[in-house]
Structure 1
């Protein structure tokens, strides 16, 4: 069976200082590591999946968070440091999990993927809920500790331990 890399929400609104929901310097620090992993997966001809927050202008999520990653906006685009290739899969999502309301599960199963490697932001939100949904669907999930970041170090650490201890993900 195969493996895939999920690059979660490495988007302008989260990772660029001018973004409307900037995660902070931690998001900038993981870029080189993520670039390296993308290249490794491409060299092995393993799928690279860019999971992208993509909201409607009146999305209910904006009751909790400032408007961000509005579909078609600069903020919803993958950061320029991570070069998209035509063979990469782009999954647009409106909720925290990359699986909720998307074709990600079908895409992975059609390719015989059973092992997922996760990088991106935010560790305690979209990475955590994507890991949870992946585990509930029977995927083996590995989290690159050097490839994830969040707004707050304590919730970042909590999410890593939650993924390891409760979900059975491997931290690498």
Structure 2
């Protein structure tokens, strides 16, 4: 079984590209090189990379709170090109579509992690105070050792980003790297 698993959360065109429906800002583009580097590191060791990917129904109730984004099958719901091209042939790239903030809500992530039995789950992606936070919360409630790579996470809201990092470290017990 792998010692490590990398979760890449919502590195999708609608969040990362400037013309995306819910663009997370210039900070989102700035983390791309680090995220790519981290994915390459895991690939070099033949360790799993799990892509947690927003994939909404066009009538999703989330659109009452947020603009329409990452509609299943749309270009905006696709991985950014830098990652899609990198993992196109990688046999240990796993894609997990989600419809809510947590990567666990009505997805197969729980079973995937149970099958993989990782010692440590590493986390990168967007947005720190939304999907990253709620996925890390569930990882920690399942007692996974969790490392959040601070150079590989960001948010459109710098204050909420800092607050979420503190919550994950001091309340949830995730390690910051």
Query: Which range, TM-score by smaller chain?
Result: over 0.9
- Residue matched to 1:70: 71
Give the secondary structure class of the aligned counterpart of 2:87.
coil
| Large movers: runs of 4+ above 4 Å | none
- Residue matched to 2:159: 154
Q: Report the Cα distance in structure 1 between the residues aligned to 2:15 and 2:53, rounded to whole angstroms.
A: 11
Q: Report the Cα distance in structure 2 between the residues aligned to 1:135 and 1:58, rounded to whole angstroms.
A: 31
Give the secondary structure class of the aligned counterpart of 1:66.
coil
Q: Is 1:96 aligned to 2:117, yes or no?
A: no
- Residue matched to 1:124: 129
Please tell me the root mean square deviation across aligned C-alpha atoms, in Å. 0.9
Q: Report the Cα distance in structure 1 between the residues aligned to 2:62 and 2:156, rounded to whole angstroms.
A: 17
Residue of structure 2 aligned with 1:84, choices 83, 87, 106? 87
1:84 is displaced (CA, Å) by: 2.6
Matches within 5 A, 1:19-30: 19-30=20-31
1:81 is displaced (CA, Å) by: 1.1
Q: Is 1:105 aligned to 2:110, yes or no?
A: yes
TM-score under structure 1 normalisation?
0.97
Q: Give the unaligned 5+ runs of structure 2.
A: none
Q: Report the Cα distance in structure 2 between the residues aligned to 1:63 and 1:2, rounded to whole angstroms.
A: 40
TM-score under structure 2 normalisation?
0.95
Deviation string 1:10-36 (CA, Å, 9 cap, x unpaired) is 000000011000000000000000010
Q: Is 1:139 aligned to 2:140, yes or no?
A: no
1:113 is displaced (CA, Å) by: 1.4
Give the secondary structure class of the aligned counterpart of 1:145.
strand
* Larger helix proportion of the pair: 2
Q: Give the unaligned 5+ runs of structure 1.
A: none
Give the secondary structure class of the aligned counterpart of 1:4.
strand
**Count of matched residue pairs:** 172
Q: Is 1:164 aligned to 2:165, yes or no?
A: no
Q: Report the Cα distance in structure 2 between the residues aligned to 1:148 and 1:27, rounded to whole angstroms.
A: 8
